[in-house]
């Protein structure tokens, strides 16, 4: 392990994973409350309680700028935590909001962030029931840390993919990362690139209502490191191969244009309103239709399958008929996106 922390150690890719495995997991020694614990490095933890499971998760939000096309820090802070609960199979019950504010921040900005948190929480709906406020001398603007608690009948991990399963995505890929990058670089397109930041509990719930929780084998929200990182984590944790078809992965034309201009793959950057879901093949069509009936899942697609070969790896069959490995990025190529 290097002797200083670099930005990449928080960028959601392989470098961050090394920090978590070599430093965090080796130092914290009490890591499980009986269910999915810290060692799993999943989107949240589960705590068995009677015949159900409490699901618990936390997320720090440091995005810059605080207001960006399609969203802001407040919407991101609520969506990020709700989505981590949702992909564990948990109905969000309540959120906690810890605000770390840099001295000098305009009160008006604080109010706008809070209003955005409120309206996003109402969409779910999930109440914000507790919180904490700190002000520091450093001119940091504002950071928001949100924790969430939910209840699951049948928790879903990111490690349950089985050979033969189908892989679904709830909509277009790369919107959040590319919108932020283009905004920062001052690149504009005919159609404005917008972040997809949104709570996706309704999409997950619609599928569970249709095919049953037990038939959702694995889920993950493809945030930092994007689709590439999410699929690679799922393949390696379940020790299976994943084959996706490039032609079936939905990418907006303006996201594709920006990615070509910036030389960044849309598969490697963060999404903040999407879910990758792995379900048995016989339930895949029903799951896809259920997603498409929801407001946030209209562009859902079946993008591939779980295979026996290439265990721990992700393959992509390309538009020109070849196959290549889809490697996880070392870190999200667009920094400070969440």
Contact residues for Mg ion (CB under 5 A)?
A: 43, 84, 221
Residues paired with 316 in a beta bridge: 244, 324
Using the minimum distance from each CB to Mg ion, give the nearer residue, 175 or 221. 221
Using the minimum distance from each CB to Mg ion, give the nearer residue, 43 or 254. 43
How many C-beta atoms surround the C-beta of residue 58 within 10 A?
Answer: 15
**Could you tell me if 168 and 301 are in contact, meaning their C-beta atoms sit under 8 angstroms apart?**
yes
Angle, CA of 307, 311 and 314, to the nearest 5°? 70
Using the minimum distance from each CB to Mg ion, give the nearer residue, 85 or 243. 85
Using the minimum distance from each CB to Mg ion, give the nearer residue, 224 or 254. 224
Tell me the C-alpha distance between 36 and 43, whole Å: 10
Tell me the C-alpha distance between 217 and 4, whole Å: 38
The H-or-E segment that residue 82 falls in is helix 73-86
The nearest distance, CB 282 to Mg ion, in angstroms, is 27
Task: Output the six-digit token pair for 259.
Answer: 């990615």
Using the minimum distance from each CB to Mg ion, give the nearer residue, 230 or 258. 230
What order of strands is seen across the sheet that includes strand 218-220?
218-220, 276-279, 166-169, 301-307, 241-245, 314-317, 323-325
The nearest distance, CB 253 to Mg ion, in angstroms, is 27
The nearest distance, CB 297 to Mg ion, in angstroms, is 18
Residues paired with 92 in a beta bridge: 150
| Residue that the structure tokens 């090394």 belong to | 18
DSSP readout, 59-70?
A: EEE--SSSEETT
Using the minimum distance from each CB to Mg ion, give the nearer residue, 157 or 259. 157
The nearest distance, CB 176 to Mg ion, in angstroms, is 13
The nearest distance, CB 150 to Mg ion, in angstroms, is 13
Using the minimum distance from each CB to Mg ion, give the nearer residue, 43 or 196. 43
The nearest distance, CB 81 to Mg ion, in angstroms, is 9
Per DSSP, helices labelled H in 273-327 are 281-292
Tell me the C-alpha distance between 224 and 230, whole Å: 9
The nearest distance, CB 323 to Mg ion, in angstroms, is 28
């Amino acid at each position: 392990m290097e002797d200083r922390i670099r930005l990449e150690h928080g960028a959601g890719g392989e470098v961050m994973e090394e920090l978590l495995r070599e430093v965090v997991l080796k130092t914290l020694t009490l890591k499980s409350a009986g269910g999915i614990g810290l060692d799993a490095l999943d989107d949240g933890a589960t705590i068995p309680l009677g015949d159900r499971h409490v699901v618990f998760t936390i997320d720090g939000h440091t995005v810059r700028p605080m207001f960006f096309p399609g969203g802001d820090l407040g919407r991101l802070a609520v969506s990020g935590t709700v989505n981590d609960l949702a992909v564990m199979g948990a109905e969000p019950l309540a959120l906690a909001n810890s605000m770390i504010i840099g001295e000098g921040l305009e009160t008006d900005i604080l109010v706008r962030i809070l209003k955005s948190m409120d309206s996003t929480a109402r969409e779910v709906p999930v109440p914000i029931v507790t919180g904490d406020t700190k002000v520091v001398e450093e001119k940091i603007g504002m950071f928001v840390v949100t924790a969430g608690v939910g209840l699951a009948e049948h928790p879903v991990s990111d490690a349950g993919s089985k050979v033969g399963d189908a892989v679904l995505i709830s909509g277009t890929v790369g919107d959040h990362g590319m919108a932020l990058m283009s905004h920062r670089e001052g690149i504009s397109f005919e159609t404005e690139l917008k972040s997809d930041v949104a709570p996706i509990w309704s999409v997950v719930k619609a599928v569970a209502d249709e095919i049953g929780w037990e038939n959702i084998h694995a889920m993950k929200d493809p945030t930092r490191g994007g689709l590439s990182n999410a699929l690679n984590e799922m393949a390696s944790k379940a020790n299976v191969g994943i084959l996706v078809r490039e032609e079936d992965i939905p990418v907006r034309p303006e996201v594709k244009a920006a990615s070509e201009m910036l030389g960044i793959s849309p598969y490697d950057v963060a999404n903040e309103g999407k879910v990758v879901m792995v379900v048995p093949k016989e339930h895949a069509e029903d799951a896809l239709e259920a997603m498409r009936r929801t407001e946030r899942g209209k562009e859902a697609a079946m993008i591939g399958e779980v295979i026996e070969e290439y265990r721990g790896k992700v393959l992509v069959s390309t538009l020109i008929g070849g196959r290549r490995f889809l490697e996880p990025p070392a870190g999200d190529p667009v920094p400070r996106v969440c």
